[in-house]
Chain A
Amino acid sequence: MNGFEHYVQKNHGMLFIPFIVAGDPNEEATVDLALTMQKCGASALELGIPYSDPLADGPVIQRASKRALAGGMTLLRAMRLVNTMRQKGLNIPVVIFTYANPLLQLGLETFFHEAAVNGIDGLLVPDIPYEESRPLAKRCVQENVRLISLVAPTTSDERLEKICASAQGFIYCVSSLGVTGVRKKFHPDIFPFLERVRQATSLPIAVGFGISSREQTAELKGSADGFIVGSAIVSEIEKRADQLKKAATRATALDELKETLLEKFGTPSEKPLPHI
C-alpha cells in the first residue's frame, strides 16, 4: 500500500481516524471491525497492539488490551491480520500503534518486512518521543512507512519545530494532558495550541485523546484537519464483545456499531475520496 497522502490530506472535510485494538474481542471481529470503520468513512485506521503496561492509555483501552492479550494477540499476529483485512477489501491506510517494547522484541527487520508484505502504511509508538526516535524515523523513511509523531499542549515551540521538521503522514495532537479516554469538553487552551501546530507544519493535523461526540468534532472544524477516536469506539466494542465474538451475531453488532458511530460523529468526510 501507501496511498497514505491520497487518503490523509487536508481540505477534505474532517478526517476520521478510528482506533481499535487488534484481537479485541477476537481476530475475526477485528478484521470485520476494520471494514466497518472504512464504511463509516474512516480516512485511516489505527490498529492498536495490546500491551501489558500501556502508559498512555486510560481504563477503556487498558481493558481492551487485557481482552486481546488473553486471546494471545501479538504485534506479529496483528500485522498479519492486516493482510486478511486487505484481502477482504480494506483500502484505507493502516497505522500500527504499538508501545516500544513489543516492537523492540519483534525487531525492526521483521517489522519492516511484515509491514511491506501485509500492506501496513504507518507506525505510531507512543512511548518513543522525538529524542529517542531518530534511528527509527530514518528507517521508516527508507521503508516507506509513515512514522506518526505526537505533540502535546505542553510541547515547547522549540520541540514542536524539531518534531514537525521531520514528521510524516499527519501530526497527532494530544488534546489534553493525561491518558486516552472520553472527555466531555476540550480545554480552551487547545485552540491556541492547534494554531501553534498549524504554524509549524504543512502536514494535516489531527486531534486525539478524549474525543467522543459530534459537538467536539464540530468545535475542531477550522482548527484541525481531522480527529482520532479511540476509547469512545473501544467502549462501544466492549458493550458488544459477546455478539462480536460469534459469527452468527457479529453482523448485527457491526450494523449497530456503524449506526452509533455515524450518529456520534456524522458522516465525517464531506467529500468521500475514491478508493485506490
Chain B
Amino acid sequence: MIRQPQLEDKFRTDETGRYGDFGGRYVPETMMHALLELEQGFKEAMTDTAFLNDYHKILHDYSGRPTPVTYCRRLSEAVGGAQIYLKREDLNHTGAHKINNAVGQALLAKRMGKKKLIAETGAGQHGVATATIAAYFGMPCKIFMGAVDVERQALNVFRMKLLGAEVVPVHSGNGTLKDAVNEVLRYWAAHIEDTAYIDGSAVGPHPYPMIVRDFQRIIGDEAREQMLQQTGKLPDAAVACVGGGSNSIGLFTAFLDDPVQLYGAEAGGKGTDTGQHAATLTKGSVGIVHGMKTYLLQDAAGQITEPYSISAGLDYPGIGPEHAYLFKTGRAVYRAITDDEALDALVRLSKLEGILPALESAHGLALAMRIATKMKPDQSVLVCLSGRGDKDVQTVLHVLKKDNSDGSDEQ
C-alpha cells in the first residue's frame, strides 16, 4: 500500500508557504486571489478519498504505474562499490515523471471547475505531459514556450500540436524557459476565472511547490516500498537530478525521516567556473524569482542571468524552495555534474544495461556513480531515472560526432 500524503508531515510547509526562509508568495496582487483559491481547492482535494482514488487510478490505468525499480548488475560491477538501482520513471506514459504531476493538477483543475489548461515548457516534456492529459480530459490547452526553445525543440512542438494543444511562442526576455514562466503567469493573471495553470516543476509561488511535491512524491513512496521488498532494507543513498526539482523532491520526500543520504545533481554545464551552467545551489545566491524566495543565478544588481545546460530540462536559473531549505539545513547534498559527465553516464547506462536515459536523468546517474565508488558493495544507491532519452538522441549524436571528429583531427 502506497503511503498517502499526510498533513502532519515534518517538512510540510506552513500557511505562508515557507520552507525555513525560502518559498513564500511574491506575486502581484492580481494573482493572490487565484493562489488562495488554489490552495483551498488543493487542501480540500487532498482530503477527499474519491479524488485521491481517481488520481491513483489514472496513473495506474493510463500511465502504467507503479513504475518498477530495476537493479543495474553490470553497471554496478563496472562502477565498483555500492549496488545501483533505478526508479524507472522513464517507463511512464509520455516517457517521464512529468505526467504524475500533470494528472494531479489537471484533476484538481476539473474539481475546481476550471475549463482550460495552460502551462509553460522548456524542452517540451511538461508541455507534452500537459497536452496529453488535456487531450485525455478533453480540455482546451495552451502551452507557453520560449521562441528560442520552439526552434530548438521542433519535434516536441509538433507532438504538442498533434495532441491538440496550442503552442504559444514567447518572444519576451530571452525567449527561453524563464520567460515562458513569466508569460504563463501573466496570461494566468488575466484569465484566472476559467483557466488553471499547471506548473511543471516544484517552483513558483505557494502553493505550487507543495502541490508539485505532493503529486510527485508517489515516486519516492513507491520506490521506498520496492527497495524494502527487493533488498530487505532502505537504500543508503537516494539521488536525483535537480532543475526546478520536481522528480528529486518527489523522490526525497519519502526518505526525509529515514537514515538515507539524499543527493541532488545540478547541471554543471561546461563547468561551474565557466559561467555556462545552471548550478543554482553551487554558484547562486538568495533572491526572489517567479514568486518564490530561493537560490538563483543573478548579477550584483539582482537581474536574473540566463543559465546553460546541455539538458534543456535542467536549464533553469532558480530552484524549488524546499530544495533551498534542504540544502541550507544540510539534509540533502547538491553537486554539479557537467555536460560531459552526464553524457558519459548516458552512454554507459545504454551500453551496460540497455537503458537510454534522458540527459536530465543522466546527471543524477553520473552523481550516483561517483558516490557509489566510495561506498561498500553491501550498500545501495537508488537513482531516479526521471525520463527516457529518445528525445535527446539528436543532441547526443551531434555532440558525440563532434567529439569524434575533434579526436581524429588530433591524430
Q: State which of A75, A129, A179 has its C-beta within 8 Å of the C-beta of B301.
A: A75
Q: State which of A62, A103, A105, A131 has its C-beta within 8 Å of the C-beta of B25.
A: A131
Closest chain A residue to B174 by CB distance?
Answer: A52
Contacting pair A156 B33 (CB below 8 A): yes
B396: Cβ under 8 A from any A Cβ: no
B311: Cβ under 8 A from any A Cβ: no
Closest chain A residue to B179 by CB distance?
Answer: A53
Contact A104/B34 with A56-B28, A128-B26 known, Cβ cut-off 8 Å:
no
Chain A residue numbers with a CB within 8 Å of B185 are 55
Closest chain A residue to B186 by CB distance?
Answer: A179
Q: State which of B32, B290, B303 has its C-beta within 8 Å of the C-beta of A129.
A: B32
Which of A52, A62, A69, A127 has the most chain B CB atoms closer than 10 A to its own CB? A52
- Tell me the bound Cα distance from A59 to B190 in angstroms: 14
Chain A residue numbers with a CB within 8 Å of B303 are 51-52, 69, 102
A154: Cβ under 8 A from any B Cβ: yes
Contacting pair A53 B289 (CB below 8 A): yes
Contacting pair B29 A152 (CB below 8 A): yes
- Tell me the bound Cα distance from A130 to B25 in angstroms: 10
Contacting pair B304 A101 (CB below 8 A): yes
Contacting pair B28 A129 (CB below 8 A): yes
Chain B residue numbers with a CB within 8 Å of A131 are 16, 25
- Tell me the bound Cα distance from A54 to B301 in angstroms: 15
Closest chain A residue to B193 by CB distance?
Answer: A177
Chain B contact residue count (CB 8 A cutoff): 35
Chain B residue numbers with a CB within 8 Å of A74 are 301
Q: State which of A62, A99, A154 has its C-beta within 8 Å of the C-beta of B172.
A: A62
Chain A residue numbers with a CB within 8 Å of B290 are 53, 55
Q: Is the interface of B mostly helix, strand, loop or mixed?
A: mixed
* Proximity string of chain A (151-162) to chain B, C-beta cutoff 8 Å, 1 when within and 0 when not: 110111001000
Contacting pair A55 B182 (CB below 8 A): yes
Which of A59, A130, A178 has the most chain B CB atoms closer than 10 A to its own CB? A178
Contacting pair A126 B28 (CB below 8 A): yes
Chain A residue numbers with a CB within 8 Å of B186 are 55-56, 58, 178-179
* Proximity string of chain B (188-222) to chain A, C-beta cutoff 8 Å, 1 when within and 0 when not: 01111000000000000000000000000000000
Contacting pair B288 A179 (CB below 8 A): no
Q: State which of B24, B26, B172, B301 has its C-beta within 8 Å of the C-beta of A105.
A: B301
- Tell me the bound Cα distance from A179 to B185 in angstroms: 10
Chain B residue numbers with a CB within 8 Å of A156 are 33
A262: Cβ under 8 A from any B Cβ: no
Contact A106/B302 with A59-B172, A177-B190, A179-B189 known, Cβ cut-off 8 Å:
yes
Chain B residue numbers with a CB within 8 Å of A54 are 182
Q: State which of A101, A155, A177 has its C-beta within 8 Å of the C-beta of B302.
A: A101
Contact A129/B27 with A52-B304, A75-B301, A104-B288 known, Cβ cut-off 8 Å:
yes
* Proximity string of chain A (48-88) to chain B, C-beta cutoff 8 Å, 1 when within and 0 when not: 00011111101100100010010000111000000000000
- Tell me the bound Cα distance from A105 to B398 in angstroms: 40
Q: How far is the CB of B244 from chain A (nearest CB, A)?
A: 15
Contacting pair A102 B302 (CB below 8 A): yes
A100: Cβ under 8 A from any B Cβ: yes
Q: How far is the CB of B193 from chain A (nearest CB, A)?
A: 8
Chain B residue numbers with a CB within 8 Å of A176 are 190
Q: Which residues of B contact A (CB under 8 A)?
A: 16, 24-30, 32-34, 172-173, 178-179, 182, 185-187, 189-192, 286-291, 298, 300-304
Please give 12 more A-B residue pairs, beta carbons under 8 A apart, in addition to A132-B16, A154-B192. A52-B173, A53-B179, A99-B288, A100-B26, A101-B302, A102-B301, A105-B298, A126-B29, A131-B16, A132-B25, A156-B33, A174-B30
User: What are the 9 tightest A-B residue pairs by CB atom distance, in nearest-first order?
Assistant: A178-B190, A105-B302, A154-B33, A102-B302, A74-B301, A56-B28, A150-B29, A101-B302, A52-B303
